[in-house]
Amino acid sequence: MSEYFDEMLNDDGSLRDSYEEIGRWFNAQDVSRLRAKQREAEEVFRLTGITFNVYGKAEAEERLIPFDIVPRVISGREWQRLERGIEQRVRAINAFLHDIYHRQEIVRAGRVPIEMISENEAFLPQMLGVSPPGRVYTHIVGVDLVRTGPDEFFVLEDNARTPSGVSYMLENRETMLKMFPELFSATNVRNVSDYPRSLRRSLAACAPDCVENEPTVAVLTPGIYNSAYYEHAFLADQMGVELVEGHDLRVVEGRVCMRTTRGYRPIDVLYRRVDDDFLDPLNFNPDSALGVPGILDVYRAGGITIANAPGTGIADDKAIYSYMPEIVEFYTGEKPLLQNVPTWRCSDPESLSYVLDNLSDLVVKEVHGSGGYGMLIGPTASKKEIAAFRDKLKSRPANYIAQPTLSLSTVPIFARSGLAPRHVDLRPFVLVSPEGINITPGGLTRVALKKGSLVVNSSQGGGTKDTWVLED
């Protein structure tokens, strides 16, 4: 029996109910045909230009994200449970953000220490007293989930700033539909292709009160050198809205306007993929050439909706993450339906002592880190790497949190030897508007393609696969 939960196979080697149709289909296929299909999928991604940039890698800045042709399958019953937990968590995050930028009741109640807010670099004092249209702070959320057992799902982290990856979810599905239409005919899989339409509708519903006609929506990108530029262009195209950069925009008579062939036209909703610090050189980093001078002043006056709202980053800070069970209970009055991974805050001397004594067994992450960078995976690290990380931890303990190494579930990939288990996580995508919360049925499954590896990030050698939620 494997020490990891196998999502496809029972302990006796038989197929789980959700994988019966797909398992039988793959077992009946000619291996050489499947290899040809795998190569075809890679060529599709290459021709489409679905790449990402790897920072700090001079020899190859732009890479193709590996795609695996075996879908990950989630039953309808499992998905319903996840949906309830995700919705509860996202509602709590929005309530938390409104609270910390207004009355800070959770701090007054002693549930979150004031220094976790006031000393947090993601907290923006400029947002104090500001209420976004519809009181929505996190218009688009990506919740990273891992599984360790039949009914054991954990939230690994919340992505509340500018979550990426939805274009890969959509392209993965489109590629699978083209290559294996017969598999979709035999399996009742829920649709994800209407995400761009839902995104535009959700963003439009968050327009400021001053907008009377159909809201004008645009996507703000840092430009072609950003690691997620492909996604910015893809989503703008799919939504049928303009893709703009900072130099395309200016403030005109209290409105943020974009340059067009007929002069400057006001924007009502800006889906920004630019970090807070670079959003407005007048209010944040004065050296930024990516943002729009004065956009925050227009925003605070109610002249534009910015999605996600400035200052939301504090909700996906890894130190705040450790308080999420308290946050969920405080704002919903309910116990969390989705559990956190146990977390040690290294800013706490007792926790730091434990972490230093057990570095070889733990995963240590930077509080503001992302993409798999700046972390230590104790069980796979060398003695030299652990010693070097120990010094970093001692010098800046508040910069880190630590977690146990989870036994991530496995799903099959199409390897040289045939179907082989690999570890995965899942990022469902959530849209929030005054009209409600919309969770796309599926999400982005990231897979560690190296045997035994627990790191699924594409920047660290991981790939992606299509995620199927079945209609039960």
Tens of pLDDT along 321-352? 999 999 999 999 999 999 999 999 998 999 99
Q: Which of 55, 47, 72, 374 is nearest to 228 (CA)?
A: 55
Predicted local distance difference test score (pLDDT) of residue 334: 97
CA 64 vs. chain centroid, Å, equals 19
End-to-end CA distance of the chain: 29
5, 407 contact by CB (below 8 A): yes
- Give the pLDDT of residue 55: 46
User: Residue 458 is encoded by which pair of tokens?
Assistant: 């594409």
pLDDT tens digit string along 381-410?
Answer: 899 999 999 999 999 998 899 999 888 999
The candidate with the shortest Cα–Cα distance to 166, out of 443, 461, 437, is: 443
CA–CA separation, 264 and 252 (whole Å): 8
Extents of the domains making up the chain: 17-208+304-338+406-469, 342-404
Residue 10, H or E segment: none
pLDDT at 370: 60
CA–CA dist 41, 465 (Å, integer): 11
Residue 257 backbone class (left: φ over 0; alpha: ψ -120 to 50; beta: rest):
beta
Closest listed residue to residue 66, CA positions, set 458, 452, 370, 468: 458
pTM recorded for the entire structure:
0.92
Sign of CA dihedral 54, 458, 398, 327: positive
Model pLDDT, residue 340? 95
Pairing state between β 429-433 and 140-149: antiparallel
Interval 214-235: pLDDT, tens: 999 999 999 998 888 999 999 9
Residues 291/282, Cβ–Cβ less than 8 Å: no
Q: What is the dihedral of CA 132, 136, 138, 139, to 10 degrees?
A: -100
Secondary structure letter of residue 11 according to DSSP: T
pLDDT of residue 155: 96
Tell me the DSSP string of 182-245: HHHHHS-BPP-TTHHHHHHHHHHTT--TT--SSPPEEEE---TTSTTHHHHHHHHHHHT-EEE-
193-223 burial, b for 16+ CB within 10 Å, e for fewer? eebbebbbbbbbbbbbeebeeebbbbbbbbe
The alpha helices in 205-343, defined as continuous H runs, are 229-239, 295-300, 318-321, 324-332
The yes/no answer on whether domain 342-404 falls in CATH 3.30.1490.270 is yes
Question: What is the reported pLDDT for 210?
Answer: 86
| Measured distance CA(180)–CA(73) in Å, rounded | 15
In the structure encoding, which two tokens stand for residue 7, read together?
A: 């999502």
Structure tokens at 93: 């995050």
Is the bond preceding residue 159 a cis peptide, omega within 30 degrees? Answer: no
CA distances in angstroms from 278 to 70, 229, 289, 408, 464, listed in the order given: 40, 16, 7, 36, 30
